[in-house]
Structure 1
Amino acid sequence: MKRFEGYGVLITGAARGIGAATARRLADEGARVLLTDIDGPAAEAAAADIPGAEALVCDVGDLAQVDAAVAHAVERFGGLDVLVNNAFASAPDTDIAEDDIDTLWRRDLDITLMGAVRCARAALPHLAATGGRGAIVNIGSVNAEADFGNHAYSAAKAGLASLTRTLAGDAAARGVRVNQINPGTIRTGNWDGREDLLDALADQLYPLGRIGEPDDIAAAVAFLASRDASWITGTVLRVDGGLLAVNKGFAAINRDG
């Protein structure tokens, strides 16, 4: 039997990249998946390539749309077993002294952090009704742990890690696990036209010698969402090719010097 046979799954920001790869992976393992995204046509296109998947427009900044998306998943799937909070906003990196806090910071925090809060709030009663298999997996970033720029986005992802820990404690009594994945650089459409930069990053920063792929993160989500991780909650899992564990530049200087 496949690990997610009979499961209902909702993924935010699922039209492309990590979200779409996660939808494919969980569907391949038996889940029925609702791909939600603010870009409706792109979500529809992604869902069309995944047997049994559905798509729905959802802006995680809008509580009514979040509630409607969760209700839709519950109605279509007969319940909701897994929530994957993948939607985010990331403003262009700027000098913090020149940031327009009321636009750049507010949007990054509202979508990346508060969007996950809205989704968890709506989903928790249904996840708790699954007999112990309910799970939330938040998609964070190595930006939550070290300086890679993008002040507002990084702060939002760090807040998401804190939310993961506190929500794990609250949800445990209801039989729901909450975990987070912090990816390193992942080859998505955001990097189109900058492949040379990706190659340079892989060579200079990543001990495993390559940039991550969306499927790398999807595999980690599948593990944390499954009963294989039934005794794991409140954990932030780095899936970063060794980026934060090894200072590759320093190691090279130390070795050659």
Structure 2
Amino acid sequence: MVRTLLVRGLLLGLLAGLIAGGFAFAFGEPRVDAAIALEEAAAAQAEASEPVAEAGHSHGEEAEVSRPAQKAGLFLATGLYGLAVGGVFALVFAGLRGRVGPRSDGRLALAAAGTAFTAMILVPFVKYPANPPAVGDPATINSRTLLYVVMIVIGLAATAAAVTTARRVLSDPWLRWIATAAAFLVPVVAAWWLLPTVSEVPDGFPATLLWEFRLTSLGTQLVFWTAFGVLFGWISDRAARRTAAPASAVASG
């Protein structure tokens, strides 16, 4: 059964990744192009005013990978992302199945996908939203990546604490919901408050472009997890019904 779930997760993850790639290509790439145009215009202005000084990096002729190649590679990246996430999700789903969450495979898949999106995407996004190419100091990329990973770990740990609390507090439904929400929100809000803020948006960068890029980035992840959760749940429910049908036929016979 685990092998079947793993293959299902890999294939559906790849499909959901390509769907998300299509969304990112249609809505995200125009914002990336606009951000790169701003960056190169600022670099050209700096070169004109101070020819001797070092200019900013370029995404044009001097770029190692051209923009057309980057756009084509977008689907490769989202497809590989879908494969990796789909495989891990399938293994986690196999461990949760019948033990935690809804008993229906379809509902469990949707609940797990929504939880994963919240813990791994939404929680770090609130503190460290994505930035377009023209935003961010290359010298701080390692520290920014580390902070983002820390937020993902905190989101996953808070989710595990919430699930554990929900299983232990069974006496009162309202008490269970309050305790579960507190177990998740307390560490997450504490991390949002205590971790350092990263603010590297240059003066004069269009606020509309910045937030359109960030919302598109979040939307790409939302499209992926929605598509993957729906597809995985639908296929899992169909497979469960096919498995249950022969068993009921034998029992009735």
TM-score of the superposition, structure 2-length normalised?
0.23
| Structure having the higher Rg | 2
Higher relative contact order (CA 8 A, sep 6+): 2
The structure with the greater share of residues assigned to strand is: 1
The structure with the greater share of residues assigned to helix is: 2
TM-score of the superposition, structure 1-length normalised?
0.22
